[in-house]
Structure 1
Amino acid sequence: MSLIVYLAAGLFGLSAVVLLLRPGMALRDPLTLSTCAAIVLGSLVFVCSAPLTLAAVNSLTGVPNFGAPVTYGMLSAYSCSLVILLIHWRGGPRERVRRMVLRSVAAYAALIVAIVVLFALGDARSERLNDLDTYYANTPYLREMILLYLIGHSAATLTMCVLCVKWSREVTGLLRAGIRLILAGSLLDVVGFQLCKYTAVAARWAGHDLDVLSTQVAPPLASLGALLCSAGYALPRLQPAAAARLGVLRDYRRLGPLWSRVRFVSTAPKPPSSLWQLPRARLHWREMSIHDALLGLAPYFDDRVRERALSAARHAGRGGHEARIAAEAAMVADAARRAAAREEPLEAPSGYRLHATEVSGTGGLVELAQAVLRSPAEPAEPAVREGREGREGPEDREGREEGTVSTSHG
């Protein structure tokens, strides 16, 4: 049982790590900070409630069952953190939020003090690591202590359930999915943990024995509920990172047509073990290599090819920017064909700067790559082909055609 509880605590705590990936921003955001506090306290509850931890606490303090008020106090602190999380989640004027937070802290602090006092007044000389709730269910003062911690926790989780039902109707996307996971985890806590505890304790009051609900059923269901809640806390925070990662992968894939056309020109060193690189590093290397290849193709850039393609794009009804990108793609494709055919560079190459080299980021290269994808393997416009043939001899045309064939098979 201790292993299951420790595992739940570790997995629960991982969601706090996700929320604190940018600690500077997290510490300035009350909502993120309160969420992380709730997760950390929830993890500590699991650690404290494990039989191995209870035995260690009892042994260190020399007080039988001293781990019980520690665990119950920690659970009450966790319940308080849930209420504070709901307050920040709901929002409102800063003074009102601050006042409600202070009231919640005061209420649960009084509850924790009452738990400690009742434990001190009660008689708990027989150490119970698994069934203290039911074993002492009829013991004066300890009975009240058990009821207090259950009621305090129930108040927080039931409030969480009610507000999650309301808010899930008002939001969409991953935020709604996260709220629904929190709702599922809270309901599992209410039904699987609290209801089992209440039932087992009430059975003891009635002279029956349903301890199995408290000792065997409640702990794993509470662990599962906590895992669902932790997933719900982390899921909305993962959305921006996931979107950025998908954007990087999409840009890397969309640069493929341009890279396959100009890769033979690039002299950029290929990094070792590129297969295991992170997507952003792979995208950066592809950008760098394409820019290097475009620089190598610059002596083959022909303004006449670009101008004819630009004119054709405008006649086709394309806008100014779209026509420019299409013309640049035609010029790059033409330069790549002639470089692959090992033709001589132009005596007076173009000094034209591509749009992709004038803008920062990947957007310009992606536009050029998509235009190259739509650009045919041979010049589509007759005027472009005629202009090329007018400047080439028969040997040049033959060599270009052979280079194109060899490239397509290579």
Structure 2
Amino acid sequence: MAQSRTTEHCVQMPAHGAGQGKTAAPTPEKQLNCFVRCIALIERLGNALGTLAFTWATVVLLGGYPTALSSKDFRYATAIVSLEAARMFSRNNRLDYQLLFRTRGAVRPLGWNGLTVIVPAAIIRIVLASLRLGSHSYYGDDGHLDKRNPGDKTNLVPSLNIFYGMVLGQGALYIAACMLDIFSFIPQRSLARQGGYADDDRLLRKISGQALTMLAMDSVNNCLTMLRETGYVFIKELTSIIRVDRYRCVAASLLRSMCLHAQQELEESDQRELSYALREVLERTLIADGAELEIFIGLSSQICKVIPEDLAKELEDSHIKQRFVMRLVDVLNSYTEPSPHCPGIRRVILEQAINMMEHDSRYTNCFIDRHMAEALSMVEETVSEAENYSLFLGDVGLMEAREPLSSLMARAKQLLAVR
């Protein structure tokens, strides 16, 4: 179980009127962070239940009990499967992030047009599931099962209960998320009033950006949808926003997810925009600290995978190659133990070093000269389970990294051993 909580995706806004020397009450931005996280998690749970129900219906029910299902259950299951297939395939899983927010130029709430699509679909799920769970007559016209000769109806009742239960849960979660979306103006205006913000549109962009960051984490479908829904200008907008202080971390986090999960969809114009932003990214890496430093090292690492030649050229042209390598090693040495404020910083440093050394063996010598091997030995002695997660709920890790930190260390050591 992870032991610390990440702050990577928290909205950072100034808190006014905080007392000195007293236990501070929850700040407006922390309250809003909790609100955004709740909506994103509810939406993800709803999608997960929907996908599981779709699989259960096609494999267990329609595949395992094709002749045992009553005509009513067959019709209900088919209708629910068709409804879920429309969400998953016909619209390219667009609801994965449109349930909460839409991006087209600026980020804006889903609005009534979106709700009129999602709410009826959720109500249909709830009604269909409730009707069958309420009647509980799954054995057709006789209404009972001959226990001495169950035939192919063994476990039919629990299988249908599980299916309808998942559908009911999915519909309820979607309704809950939509209700939260409708009343999202309450914490937004509260934060605007308490935090001294008069520009609601500016505040909304920041709030929505954080929600999109949450939804882009470890989700290929969401990242691809964001690219397509914005007419493939999303990267250009993010590389522009990254220069604005108040949006910098949110934009960098989104860019990192785009490079990681939508690399194959990035066009030549997107790669040019990333190249233009490289100097800003590298400069922030050299001067930032804490959670912001973790975000920007993570971004530079992913840019290195997308356009490695451009990164190498920028390091050479700016005469900061040695300084950049030294910065990575120094930061790694400064974190002798995992940090509760940025538990992923040692991971992103290793990823950056690996990407650079795999692209050009000359970087290997640079890291050797800066005693990277000794730094790795220190990290190896203090590895924490929390460093294998990128999202936390309290002290519990929710989103596990695809590659454990121990594997990254082994790869880095292997590269350093080959000059």
Q: TM-score, normalization: structure 1? A: 0.23
Greater helix fraction, Structure 1 or Structure 2: 1
Larger Rg: 1
Indicate the structure whose relative CO is greater, using CA pairs within 8 Å and at least 6 residues apart: 2
